[in-house]
């Protein structure tokens, strides 16, 4: 059999080359199409989340993180803005556009954000491995009209409160558009209790705080969230809850014993670098029911706790599930 295959390759090399080229082309086109379809499904998912939360709170803030291409039709920055998607959200969060450890500007993403900045508030989390670069990272973002949070090596996982607040102010922040800075604090390992975390945040003048819905698996109450809504200087601030809508996390209340890769089937793909997470088939009803639409859903818990909005992480799942192998 091996010899016959060798003869085929030798005598049909031109045909084989054409076949391989066409196969690669078709595969690429197929991936492109699947990616477009997946992007549309993620846009629809976010819009539906927005519609659901606004039934309970018309001012509820929606901020997807990363996946900024979703602001365009077919997630293609060469096409027109997707007005339905942009109308459903209030801002866009992104990570590492100027610094990813060292200085490494991502011109492609920066250009996208410049186009989106006219209609959306842009929140940029930068990561620097040298504290001397913090000022530059902030300066580059604010010069673009973005607000920025900069973390260092010790704070890579968003577990610390930086002492310096850029553009600190006593303004009452009643909408996302007014925010001049923000705190991204979704890890709780530095705090022994909810109240210790609340007290630490209360001693700051950040305009907006992103925290997790849970502290050691216990949901923050509305009374506790209200404590967080006042800056040290007396100004009002916004408190936003983190939630991943593109990945399932093993340590969450909804994750059942026996679940794993493809069990259930919508647990699609391991999340490289995060052993406790899986990318999900986010368009599946079972997953969406976990996130929104009923009294036991994640978003209903966020609403019941009195948060001002939600920070939707891993919306770029549409890309990682369909466009990459």
How far, in Å, CA of 278 to CA of 115, rounded?
A: 31
Select from 146, 141, 139, 185 the least CA-distant residue to 162: 185
The DSSP letter of residue 219 is E
Residue 24 forms part of a structural domain: no
Which two structure tokens, joined as six digits, stand for 4?
């016959």
Residue 74 lies in a domain: yes
Instruction: Classify residue 15: in a domain, yes or no.
Output: no
Tell me the two tokens of residue 155. 């704070």
**Per-residue pLDDT, 323:** 57
pLDDT at 36 (0 to 100): 66
The domain total for the chain is 1
CA 101 from centre of chain: 19
For the chain, which residues score pLDDT lower than 50? Answer: 1-32, 325
- 49 and 297 in contact (C-beta within 8 Å)? no
- Whether the CB-CB separation of 209 and 201 falls below 8 Å is answered with yes
> Is the entire prediction scored with pTM above 0.75?
yes
- Residue 41, in any domain of the structure: yes
At residue 34, the pLDDT reads 53
pLDDT of residue 324: 52
For position 315, which CATH number holds?
3.20.20
Whether residue 12 is contained in a domain is answered as no
Compute the distance between CA of residue 177 and CA of residue 101 in angstroms, rounded to an integer: 29
**Confidence at residue 321, expressed as pLDDT on a 0 to 100 scale:** 77
Q: Is residue 315 a contact partner of residue 66, using CB atoms and an 8 Å limit?
A: yes
In a domain, 295, yes or no: yes
Q: Is residue 2 part of a domain?
A: no
Whole-number Å distance between alpha carbons of 241 and 303: 9
Report if residue 6 sits inside a domain: no
Domain of residue 97, residue span: 37-322
pLDDT at residue 110, rounded to an integer: 97
Token pair of 59, please? 């001012």
């Amino acid at each position: 059999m091996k010899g016959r295959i060798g003869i085929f390759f030798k005598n049909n090399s031109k045909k084989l080359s054409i076949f391989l080229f066409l196969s690669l082309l078709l595969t690429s086109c197929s991936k492109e199409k699947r990616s477009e379809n997946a992007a549309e499904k993620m846009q629809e998912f976010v819009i539906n989340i927005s519609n659901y939360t606004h039934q309970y709170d018309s001012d509820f803030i929606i901020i997807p993180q990363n996946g900024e291409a979703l602001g365009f039709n077919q997630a293609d920055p060469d096409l027109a803005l997707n007005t339905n998607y942009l109308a459903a959200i209030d801002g866009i969060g992104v990570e590492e556009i100027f610094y990813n450890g060292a200085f490494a500007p991502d011109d492609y993403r920066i250009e996208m954000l410049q186009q989106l900045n006219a209609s959306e508030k842009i929140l940029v989390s930068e990561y620097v491995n040298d504290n001397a670069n913090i000022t530059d990272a902030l300066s580059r973002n604010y010069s673009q009209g973005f607000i920025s949070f900069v973390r260092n090596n010790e704070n890579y996982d968003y577990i610390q409160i930086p002492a310096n607040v850029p553009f600190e102010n006593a303004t009452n922040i009643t909408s996302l558009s007014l925010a001049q800075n923000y705190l991204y604090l979704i890890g709780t390992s530095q705090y022994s209790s909810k109240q210790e975390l609340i007290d630490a945040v209360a001693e700051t003048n950040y305009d907006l705080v992103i925290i997790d819905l849970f502290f050691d698996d216990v949901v923050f109450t509305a009374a506790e969230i209200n404590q967080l809504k006042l800056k040290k200087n007396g100004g009002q601030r916004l408190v936003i809850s983190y939630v991943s809508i593109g990945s399932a996390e093993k340590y969450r209340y909804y994750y059942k014993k026996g679940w794993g890769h493809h069990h259930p089937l919508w647990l699609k793909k391991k999340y490289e670098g995060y052993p406790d997470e899986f990318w999900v088939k986010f368009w599946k009803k079972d997953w969406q029911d976990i996130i929104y639409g009923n009294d036991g859903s994640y978003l209903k818990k966020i609403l019941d706790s009195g948060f001002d909005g939600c920070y939707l992480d891993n919306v770029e799942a549409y890309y990682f599930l369909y466009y990459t192998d």
